[in-house]
Amino acid sequence: MSDVVSPAETLRTALAGLLADLPPRQAAQAVDRLIANYRGRTPTDAPVLRDRADVAAYAAYRMPATFEAVRSALTALADAAPADWAPASHVDVGGGTGAAVWAASATWDGKRPVTVLDWADPALTLGRQLAAALPQLTETDWRRARIGSALALDPADLVTVSYVLNELTEGDRHAVVDAAARAGQAVVIVEPGTPDGYTRIIEARTRLLAAGFHIAAPCPHGAPCPIVPGTDWCHFSARVSRSSLHRQVKGGSLAYEDEKFSYVAATRFDCSPAAARVVRRPQIRKGQVLLDLCGSPEPGLARETVTKRHGALYKAARDADWGDAWPPAGN
């Protein structure tokens, strides 16, 4: 049995160690304010994470969920990229305490030059402290920068922008996406899985396509999204283990929660997106599985019914999860 500890486990341990003395009441008050920003109701031109209490509350409440959402998006990128591709460098825009760079370390082995940009010094400070627990991140450059129209990025194989666009004005959102497109060979953008979050992702997706990128995930194509605006939205779900501190901060007794998120992963190099993507939780019924799919080469939404007569494909359908590529490799 390997004694190597995963980045996810290391992150949980590091959070527990740094935040063990955090007063839950103080953290809960900060979380209530942060939720409003997270859900995209209050775009701002000032840092959302203002002080140590805000950052500690964010780390306890949001960092594990951001980690899992970004890891899901990066895994989809890795599946679509050439088999031998891994980012040799990574820039995380608006990275705060660094959840996305932890997620990249959980997706690709090895050490790479990493830069985290954020305008909140307390977030960068805590991110640096947390990263000391993971060897791959000990040389990360935690750099203060205003995330907006004047943003300039160094070239990088991977640029991530997670849970940032909801904090920006429309002009700054466009500037940040364009800066990511100029700098990155691969760009991954993640937003909350709300109608507004999806709208921002579609806006970013359109700009990436206009900049010459190929869509790697979740879409199986680069055509316009087949969802009729205002009728639905494309989003996915990642399961997040809740620590005891997390449960104290937000209440509730469950040991997990499901993080809903929307995302786009795009590349300048050729990639192989899924033939179709499961865009809703599969419905398992007696002798059949109903899969809601977004597919190609004819872009559109369709429901596929997989029954026992489909043999191995039926077993794969029973094991399929929301957000998975379809059909799975080998089928």
Give per-residue pLDDT as tens, 55-103: 777 777 788 899 999 999 999 999 999 999 999 999 999 998 999 999 9
Residue-wise pLDDT for 280-301, tens only, equals 999 999 999 999 999 977 788 9
- pLDDT for the residue 222: 94
**CB under 8 A, 24+ apart: contacts of 325-330:** 325/76, 325/79, 325/274, 325/275, 325/276, 325/277, 325/278, 326/274, 326/275, 326/276, 326/277, 326/278, 326/291, 326/293, 326/295, 327/275, 327/276
Domains of the chain: 7-267 (3.40.50.150), 276-326 (no CATH)
**Which pLDDT band holds residue 329 (cuts at 50, 70, 90)?**
confident
Residue with the larger pLDDT of the pair 64 and 218: 218
Q: What is the pLDDT of residues 110-144, one digit of tens each?
A: 999 999 999 888 889 989 999 999 999 998 999 99
Q: Please report how many Cα atoms fall inside a 13 Å half-sphere around the Cα of residue 162, on the Cβ side.
A: 32
| pLDDT score at 1 | 38
Helix, strand, or coil (residue 261)? strand
- Over the chain, what is the mean pLDDT? 88
**pLDDT of res. 55:** 72
Supply φ then ψ for residue 290, to 5 degrees: -100, 120
Mean pLDDT of all residues in 27-44: 59
Q: Give the SS3 label for residue 294.
A: strand
For the cut 60, the answer to whether the pLDDT of residue 199 exceeds it is yes
